[in-house]
Amino acid sequence: MDDLLIRVLTRLVRVHDELGEESFEHAANRALVSIARSVQLDAERQVRLERPAFDEGVIPFPDGGNRQNFNLPRL
């Protein structure tokens, strides 16, 4: 785990150094979204495998398609 984390951080630092702050911000934000999506997919897969009771379900990660279901303000 430590090696992979260091590789991700090193890559982001390199983006910052070579392409600047704006590219770094975009890359870092996209990395966070990718991590969240990956975790969501794994959680959904585990729920289907374990067949939890109704009250043990996974809270879905809001995305553009179901944003209105969470009554979030539009930005």
The whole-number pLDDT of residue 61 equals 61
The whole-number pLDDT of residue 43 equals 87
**5 CB contacts (<8 Å, ≥6 apart)?**
none
pTM for this predicted structure: 0.58
Asked if residue 72 has pLDDT above 90, the reply is no
* Spatial separation of the C-alpha atoms in residues 6 and 65, rounded to whole Å: 33
Asked if residue 12 has pLDDT above 60, the reply is yes
Q: Are 44 and 58 in contact (CB under 8 A)?
A: yes
Query: Which tokens sit at 3?
Result: 């090696």
